Amino acid sequence: MNHSTFEGALGWLTMRFKTAEENIIGIDDERKEAMVSNLLVVLTSES
């Protein structure tokens, strides 16, 4: 996994969670955990 891939993925998650906090789109803690977990699986399987 290269650094830019990780930064892009982290940026996507950060933006998604910020949007949810602004009540534009609802997301609960369980869903956040699932998204982070799935992203980590994808990123670690890429290397």
The pLDDT assigned to 42 comes to 79
The pLDDT assigned to 46 comes to 59
The pLDDT assigned to 27 comes to 75
The pLDDT assigned to 1 comes to 56
pTM: 0.56
Under-70 pLDDT residues of the chain: 1, 22-26, 46-47
Residue 31 to residue 9: CA distance in whole angstroms: 16
* C-beta separation of 1 from 46 below 8 A: yes
